[in-house]
């Protein structure tokens, strides 16, 4: 353990490049401050992250189960992406009050709508506790020590939850203390025509014109501490809120993003990457079938569109990303480059006996185990993406989003896809009956539902021990592989894979050129909305209440001072991934200038390998957001809460 810690300390001693990296906040002073200052940052590390006083990290929250948000007023007002609030908005919508389709604007706090089950989480602190595990020898011992550390932290931090989280493939551990608020209310969102302008056609693409935001408010009990929903609760008095800049951006401006990136795979072998592509292709094919049926039914009926909007969006985002990832892997030779790196690493390991003892055989062990694991993973993925979805769809869930006719059509298509792809020895027999089985299932025959559930459970139970064994082998070998990389590249900047913990990424506002003869500018304007508008295409509708002020150039103080236009979105080279959606992108002084909401198509392999010339973060300009709030929503009450920097 001591050797590993020494390697980690050496590996991050050189300043990072300005574009790559998802950095741990407690290490900013030691490893990133100088590099950030060199490209324009005017903040200290203490301004960004401090456990002794308020800092910018106190304004950043984990929103729901997979996004980021930020507090923008001293009354707990929160902004995140529209697609982050999408499921919550859909859940509280009805055909009579379709907040997803029509948008919503709370013109006073009494109009704000509770969202059952929605939480926001503030990070209080991070502490390296790796040394506490140095004498632990067994998984049981590890769990006991983890529980001991977490319990002690929660005792010292009332109203908080503590988690010990691993980094660098279980080479380093941090204790992270969180405070979770459970009374979160819906405040504002544009109509879906703007919040999802461009739909799946524009998803992951540039140029973009999507007004991808929604607003919520965090409420607390009388003591300003977390509390379950109550009409007596009051808006949170946050430790910190972000100021908003109206200056706009120009090429080369320093930017940084704080948020909760989900998962990256930058410490994986070529064998692991090949398996990832194989698994994703199984999901792509199944979701193509499922989404085709959903979209056809959604186009027929507005009520069905509302019922299935979140289901479709949740499926389609990964579906398109994985296809882009396949393309980028081929175009950029990602696996070939990884194989070359591994060959060079193996030569370095073999050159010294101590390195052979510590790291030798790790890559080969991962490859051999992946060969065992791949058929298990593909089998379970096919099962999950087809019959597993049917099991979720079945009629025992009679909520407002249940539609027997649509669900049956989806189930029929997924069963056909499953039977076409599954091997004879793995086939679950009950679904082979086709229409007869569907008649039983959607006729609410309890035996039909139980038969499917048991068959799926039995299949999982059969494969689980084999899969668990493979996972344990890969985990142990990956730990050694990661340690070897850090040792081999000591003296170079390093950061751990994203794991949905708060990170900071810094860079600049930049255009890019995806291929010969093609160059993309770094911002878009509402001119593009008018150019893309297609009233016959659901994804490119432009409501009159939005179109009219655009045609009148009624942009007010939200217009750009240089050209008088309303800017929609802009590009930066910040290093982000899923989970960063809704993250604040800030200027050199820590003022909010926009919301990160997407990556670009040409660098869809970015979770594995950062591409400095291609990788761009797509951000919605905060001035576009606030223009929508004021001019379209008429919610000047929300504008009045915000502190601006002109």
The answer to whether residues 311 and 233 belong to one domain is no
The answer to whether residues 440 and 508 belong to one domain is no
**pLDDT surpassing 50 at residue 13:** no
Mean pLDDT of 600-627: 96
* 212 in active site: yes
**pLDDT surpassing 50 at residue 12:** no
448 found inside a domain = yes
Beta bridge partners of 627: none
- The residues, any chain, with a CB within 8 Å of residue 638's CB and separated by 6 or more, are 77, 106, 187, 188, 215, 629
177 found inside a domain = yes
> Shortest CA distance to 287 belongs to which of 459, 413, 394?
413
Q: Which of 488, 523, 544 is the last residue of a domain?
A: 488
- Exposed, middle or buried, 407 (CB in 10 Å: 0-12/13-18/19+)? buried
User: What confidence tier does 2 reach under pLDDT thresholds 50, 70, 90?
Assistant: very low
Q: What are 549-605's pLDDT values in tens digits?
A: 999 999 999 999 999 999 999 999 999 999 999 999 999 999 999 999 999 999 999
Q: Buried b vs exposed e over 586-602: b needs ≥16 C-beta within 10 Å?
A: bbbebbbbbbbbbbbbb
Q: Which of 249, 282, 317 is the last residue of a domain?
A: 249
Rg (CA), the chain: 25
**pLDDT surpassing 50 at residue 15:** no
254 found inside a domain = no
Structure tokens at 33: 């401050």
1 found inside a domain = no
Helix (H) or strand (E) holding 67: strand 67-71
**pLDDT surpassing 80 at residue 28:** yes
What gap in Å lies between CA 174 and CA 508, rounded to an integer? 29
User: What confidence tier does 6 reach under pLDDT thresholds 50, 70, 90?
Assistant: very low
Q: What are 185-233's pLDDT values in tens digits?
A: 999 999 999 999 999 999 999 999 999 999 999 999 999 999 999 999 9
The answer to whether residues 318 and 440 belong to one domain is yes
pLDDT at residue 220 in the model: 98
The answer to whether residues 318 and 432 belong to one domain is yes
Mean pLDDT of 60-85: 97
pLDDT at residue 394 in the model: 65
Lowest mean pLDDT among 104-113, 312-321, 397-406, 576-585: 397-406
Mean pLDDT of 78-86: 98
13 found inside a domain = no
Q: Which of 219, 249, 279 is the last residue of a domain?
A: 249
According to DSSP, the β-strands at 104-105 and 592-599 are unpaired
Contact between residue 72 and residue 79 where contact means Cβ atoms under 8 Å apart = yes
DSSP state of 50: -
Half-sphere exposure of 472 (CA within 13 A, CB side): 8
- Exposed, middle or buried, 134 (CB in 10 Å: 0-12/13-18/19+)? exposed
Q: What are 87-98's pLDDT values in tens digits?
A: 999 999 999 999
* 170 in active site: no
**pLDDT surpassing 60 at residue 396:** no
Report the percent of the chain where pLDDT is more than 70: 96
Residue with the two structure tokens 């456990």 = 51
The answer to whether residues 172 and 290 belong to one domain is no
35 found inside a domain = no
Mean pLDDT of 614-637: 98
pLDDT at residue 646 in the model: 80
475 found inside a domain = yes
Kindly provide the residue ranges of all beta strands, DSSP E only, lying in 241-360, ordered along the sequence.
244-245, 254-259
pLDDT at residue 3 in the model: 44
> How many separate domains does the chain show?
3
What gap in Å lies between CA 261 and CA 282, rounded to an integer? 25
**pLDDT surpassing 90 at residue 484:** yes
Contact between residue 507 and residue 201 where contact means Cβ atoms under 8 Å apart = no
The answer to whether residues 460 and 550 belong to one domain is no
* 55 in active site: no
The answer to whether residues 282 and 398 belong to one domain is yes
What gap in Å lies between CA 575 and CA 610, rounded to an integer? 8
The answer to whether residues 225 and 274 belong to one domain is no
pLDDT at residue 397 in the model: 61
Task: Choose, from 93, 572, 581, 583, the residue flagged as catalytic.
Answer: 581
What gap in Å lies between CA 644 and CA 646, rounded to an integer? 6
pTM of the prediction? 0.93
Mean pLDDT of 153-164: 96
User: What confidence tier does 494 reach under pLDDT thresholds 50, 70, 90?
Assistant: confident
Mean pLDDT of 394-411: 82
Q: What are 435-444's pLDDT values in tens digits?
A: 888 998 888 7
The answer to whether residues 526 and 613 belong to one domain is yes
The per-residue pLDDT of the chain, averaged, comes to: 93
**pLDDT surpassing 90 at residue 277:** yes
Task: Choose, from 73, 82, 83, 93, the residue flagged as catalytic.
Answer: 83
Mean pLDDT of 278-290: 98
Task: Choose, from 19, 183, 212, 587, the residue flagged as catalytic.
Answer: 212
- Exposed, middle or buried, 419 (CB in 10 Å: 0-12/13-18/19+)? middle
Q: What is the CATH number of the domain that holds 603?
A: 2.40.10
323 found inside a domain = yes
* Number of Cβ atoms within 10 Å of the Cβ of 281: 15
Contact between residue 128 and residue 174 where contact means Cβ atoms under 8 Å apart = yes
- The residues, any chain, with a CB within 8 Å of residue 517's CB and separated by 6 or more, are none
Handedness of CA 324, 328, 334, 336 (dihedral sign): positive
Helix (H) or strand (E) holding 178: strand 172-181
Contact between residue 219 and residue 233 where contact means Cβ atoms under 8 Å apart = yes
* Structural domain of 586: 503-645
pLDDT at residue 8 in the model: 42
Report the percent of the chain where pLDDT is more than 90: 88
The answer to whether residues 335 and 231 belong to one domain is no
The answer to whether residues 277 and 378 belong to one domain is yes
The answer to whether residues 111 and 187 belong to one domain is yes
Q: What are 419-475's pLDDT values in tens digits?
A: 999 999 999 988 887 788 899 888 878 888 889 999 999 999 999 999 999 999 999
């Amino acid at each position: 353990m001591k050797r590993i810690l020494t390697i980690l300390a050496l590996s991050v001693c050189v300043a990072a490049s300005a574009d790559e990296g998802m950095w741990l906040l407690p290490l900013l002073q030691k490893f990133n401050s100088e590099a950030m200052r060199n490209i324009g940052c005017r903040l200290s590390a203490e301004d960004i992250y401090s456990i002794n006083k308020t800092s910018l990290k106190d304004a950043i929250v984990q929103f729901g189960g997979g996004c980021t948000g930020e507090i923008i007023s001293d009354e707990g007002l929160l902004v995140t992406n529209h697609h982050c609030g999408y499921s919550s908005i859909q859940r509280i919508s009805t055909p009579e009050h379709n907040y997803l389709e029509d948008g919503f604007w709370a013109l006073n706090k009494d109009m704000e709508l509770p969202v059952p089950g929605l939480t926001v989480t503030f990070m209080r602190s991070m502490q390296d506790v790796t040394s506490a595990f140095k004498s632990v020898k067994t998984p049981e011992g590890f769990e006991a020590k983890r529980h001991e550390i977490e319990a002690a932290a929660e005792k010292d931090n009332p109203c908080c939850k503590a988690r010990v989280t691993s980094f660098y493939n279980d080479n380093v551990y941090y204790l992270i203390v969180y405070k979770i608020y459970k009374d979160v209310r819906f405040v504002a969102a544009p109509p879906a025509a703007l919040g999802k302008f461009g739909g799946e056609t524009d998803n992951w693409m540039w140029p973009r014109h999507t007004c991808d935001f929604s607003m919520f408010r965090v409420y607390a009990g009388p003591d300003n501490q977390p509390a379950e929903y109550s009409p007596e609760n009051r808006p949170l008095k946050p430790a910190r809120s972000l100021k908003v800049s109206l200056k706009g951006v120009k090429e080369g401006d320093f930017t940084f993003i704080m948020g909760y990136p989900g998962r990256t795979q930058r410490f994986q072998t070529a064998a692991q990457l090949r398996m990832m592509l194989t698994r994703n292709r199984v999901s792509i094919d199944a979701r193509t079938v499922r989404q085709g049926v959903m979209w056809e039914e959604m186009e027929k009926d507005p009520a069905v569109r509302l019922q299935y909007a979140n289901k479709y969006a949740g499926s389609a985002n990964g579906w398109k990303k994985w296809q882009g990832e396949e393309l980028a892997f081929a175009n950029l030779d990602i696996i070939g480059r990884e194989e070359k790196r591994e060959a060079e690493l193996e030569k370095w390991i073999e050159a010294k006996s101590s390195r052979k003892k510590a790291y030798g055989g790790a890559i080969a062990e991962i490859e051999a185990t992946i060969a065992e694991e791949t058929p298990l993973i593909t089998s379970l993925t096919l099962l999950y993406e087809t019959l597993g979805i049917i099991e979720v769809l079945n009629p025992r869930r009679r909520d407002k989003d249940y539609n027997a006719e649509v669900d049956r059509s989806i189930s029929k298509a997924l069963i056909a896809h499953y039977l076409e792809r599954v091997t004879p020895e793995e086939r679950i027999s009950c679904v082979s009956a086709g229409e007869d089985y569907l008649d039983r299932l959607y006729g609410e025959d309890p035996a039909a539902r139980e038969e499917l559930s048991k068959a799926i459970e039995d299949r999982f139970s059969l494969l689980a021990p084999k899969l668990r064994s493979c996972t344990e082998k890969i985990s142990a070998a990956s730990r050694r592989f990661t340690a070897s990389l850090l040792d081999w590249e000591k003296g170079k900047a390093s950061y751990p894979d994203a794991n949905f913990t708060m990170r900071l990424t810094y860079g600049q506002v930049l255009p890019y050129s995806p291929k010969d003869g093609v160059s993309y500018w770094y911002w878009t304007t509402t001119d593009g909305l008018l150019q893309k508008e297609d009233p016959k295409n659901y994804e490119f509708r432009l409501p009159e209440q939005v179109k009219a002020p655009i045609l009148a150039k009624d942009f007010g103080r939200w217009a750009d001072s240089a050209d008088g236009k309303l800017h929609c979105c802009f590009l930066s080279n910040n290093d982000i991934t899923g989970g960063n959606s809704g993250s604040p992108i800030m200027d050199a002084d820590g003022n909010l200038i926009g919301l990160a909401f997407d990556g670009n198509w040409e660098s869809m392999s970015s979770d594995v390998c950062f591409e400095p010339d291609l990788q761009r973060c797509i951000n919605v300009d905060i001035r576009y957001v606030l223009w929508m709030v004021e001019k379209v929503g008429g919610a000047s009450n929300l504008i009045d809460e915000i502190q601006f920097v002109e």
